[in-house]
Amino acid sequence: MFDKMSERGFQGDVFTYGILISGLCKVRETGFALKLYRKMAERNCEGDLVIYSRIIDSLRKDRLVDEGVNMLFEMVSKGITPDVVVYSSLVNGLCSIGKLKEAVTFFEEMVGRGIAADLVMYNTLINGFYQVGMWKEAARIFNWMVREGISPDDITFTALMDCLCKEGKVGKAHEIFALMRQKGKEPTLFTYNSLMGGLCKAGQLDEAAKLFGLIADQSWKIEEAFQLFQEMHFQGCKPSAVTYNTLIAALCQAGRVRTAKKMFDEMHVCGQSPIISTYVVMLDGLQKWPC
């Protein structure tokens, strides 16, 4: 269509090219978008920040990150200053292909230009280091964002905790978990699973039981408590009588007495003897909700 318009003498301006290039990038036709961009340049029509941003992000989605970097250099050479959107695309793309050193370089370049990073960019970097087990770098970025006044979300906390647990730094992970709750961020099931796995592997069974109690005490999270209980088994962390008691009490409180009874019977199979409070909660549950 554009070729037909050109044949009829229509030259187009940056606004028209921008619409067409954005449309092509949206449907993942990055190659055609680049061809159109080159035609645009041949006609002495310079691209603007929006056009470069669209193309760079499209290249990132196609995992052509090096080409995206070249586009950044090109736009800078023409006096166009990249914004946080452009840098975010490149940092995201570089992290996705494991080029973390380059990602940090562009991040620091962006900050040096006085452009403030947002939560998404910090999370991207932390997750990139988390994927390769570089917990010290992940922690450095975490501390950086806190200094800059950016409040971490549950994704930030969980990624850092999981990275620390996998590196055997369970104590530090527990500190991050405490900070997460202090900041009013709601831990997800993955958060609990990560810390539970770390505690079990470190042989900190009492701490694992306490963690389980935190979620089991919230009756509306009973399904999450069940999954966390299964995670304890998976990690080779044998649930104690207190752990069973906590789950049985939560089940009875939620009216799920049949399931509580099954857990009560399972205790004996697993070699755990019910404690007095276990009998009390079971009897109370059976009285309120007879099977």
What average pLDDT does range 199-209 have in this prediction?
Answer: 81
DSSP per-residue letters across 67-80: HHHHHHHHHHHTTP
Most confident of the following: 10-19, 193-202, 209-218: 193-202
Residue linked to tokens 């647990």 = 165
Residues in the chain: 291
Instruction: Encode pLDDT of 134-147 as tens digits.
Output: 989 999 999 999 99
> What pLDDT was estimated at residue 12?
59
Please tell me which of 19-28, 69-78, 262-271, 277-286 the model is most confident about, judged by mean pLDDT.
69-78
Residue 28 contacts by C-beta under 8 Å, 6 or more apart in sequence? 58, 61, 62
DSSP state of 115: P
Distance CA 150, CA 213 (A): 31
For residues 232-264, b (16+ Cβ closer than 10 Å) or e, as one string?
Answer: beebebebbbbbbbbbbbbbbbbebbebbbebb
